[in-house]
A and B are shown apart, each in its own frame.
Chain A
Amino acid sequence: MGIRPIFSALLRNRAGAILVALQIAITLAIVVNAVYLTQQRVSKIGRPSGIDDQNIFAFWVNTYQKDYDFLGMVREDMAMLRQMPDIVDVSPMQQVPLSGSGSSSGFYSLPDKKGEESPANTYSVDDHGIKTLGVTLSAGGEFDASDVEYKKEDQKEPGYPPKAIISQAFAKALFKDEPALGRNFYDDQSRPIRIVGVISHMQGSWVGWDKVDRTMLYPQVGPYGSTQYVIRTRPGSIDRVMANVEVALRKRDPNRVIATPMTKMSDMKRRSYSSDSLMAVTLSTVTGLVLVFSSLGIFGLATFNVNSRTRQIGTRRAVGARKLDIVQYFLAENWIVTSAGVVVGCSLALAAGYWLSTQYQLPRLDLYYLVGGVLGLWVLGQVAAWQPALKAAKVSPAMATRNV
Chain B
Amino acid sequence: MFAYYLRLALASFRRNPGLTALMVFAIALGISVCMITLTTYRAAANNPAGERSGIVFAASIDNWDPEEPYEEYDKSLAPTMLTYRDARALHASNIPDRKVIMYRSGEIYTRADKGMDPQYFATRMTTSDFFPMFEVPFLYGGPWDAKADAGPEPVVVLSKEANQKAFGGINSVGKTLQWAKREFRVIGVLDEWEIMPKYFDVSNGAFQKMEGAYMPFSWGQILELGSHGNTNCWKTEVVDSFQAFLNSECIWTHAWFELRTAEKQRAFREFLDNYVLDQKKHGRFPRPLNNYLYDVDGWLKRNKVVGDDNKAMLVLAFAFLAVCLVNTVGLLLAKFLNAAPTSGVRRALGASRRDIFWQHLTESGVVALAGGLVGGLLGIAGTWALRAWYGRFVDEALRALPFDSTNFLIIIAIAVAAGVLAGLYPAWRIGRAAPASYLKVQ
Chain A contacts to B: CB under 8 angstroms: 13, 15-16, 19-20, 22-23, 26-27, 29-30, 34, 37, 60, 62-64, 66, 113, 156-158, 188-189, 256-257, 259, 267, 270-271, 274-275, 278-279, 282-283, 286, 289-290, 293-294, 296-297, 300-301, 303-304, 307-308, 356, 359-361, 403-404
Contacts and interface: CB of A to CB of B under 8 A. Distances in A.
Given A157-B240, A278-B394, A293-B26, 6 more contacts: A16-B333, A23-B323, A30-B319, A156-B240, A156-B241, A158-B240
> What's the interface size class on B, roughly?
35 or more
B409 interface: no
A19 B308 contact: no
Contact of A26 (B19, B37, B313, B322): B322
B311 to A, nearest CB: 7
A275 B395 contact: yes
Contact of B319 (A13, A26, A359): A26
A263 to B, nearest CB: 11
B334 interface: yes
Nearest to B36: A282
B93 interface: no
Contacts of A13: 337
Contacts of A270: 393
Nearest to A361: B73
B120 A62 contact: yes
Contact of A158 (B239, B323, B395): B239
Given A29-B319, A278-B394, A308-B338, A301 B120 contact: no
Contacts, number: 133
B405 interface: no
B345 to A, nearest CB: 14
A344 to B, nearest CB: 12
B319 A19 contact: no
Contact of B326 (A19, A30, A283): A19
A15 B326 contact: no
Interface of B: 19, 22, 26, 29, 33, 37, 73, 107-108, 110, 117-120, 181, 236, 238-242, 307-309, 311-313, 316-317, 319-320, 322-324, 326-327, 329-331, 333-334, 337-338, 386, 390, 392-395, 425, 429, 441-442
A174 B332 CA distance: 65
Contacts of B330: 16, 19-20, 23, 297, 300-301
Nearest to B178: A64
A18 to B, nearest CB: 9
Interface SS, A side? helix
A283 B317 CA distance: 9
B313 A279 contact: yes
Contacts of B110: 64
B425 A15 contact: yes
A363 B317 CA distance: 23
Contacts of A361: 73
Given A62-B108, A158-B239, A293 B327 contact: yes
B24 to A, nearest CB: 13
Closest 5 CB pairs of A and B: A64-B108, A304-B334, A19-B330, A274-B394, A274-B393
Contact of A23 (B327, B390, B394, B395): B327
B202 to A, nearest CB: 15
Contact of B337 (A19, A257, A274, A308): A308
B108 A23 contact: no
Nearest to B322: A26
A274 B390 contact: yes
A293 B324 contact: yes
A26 B323 contact: yes
B337 to A, nearest CB: 7
B323 A359 contact: no
A15 B429 CA distance: 10
A273 to B, nearest CB: 8
A358 to B, nearest CB: 10
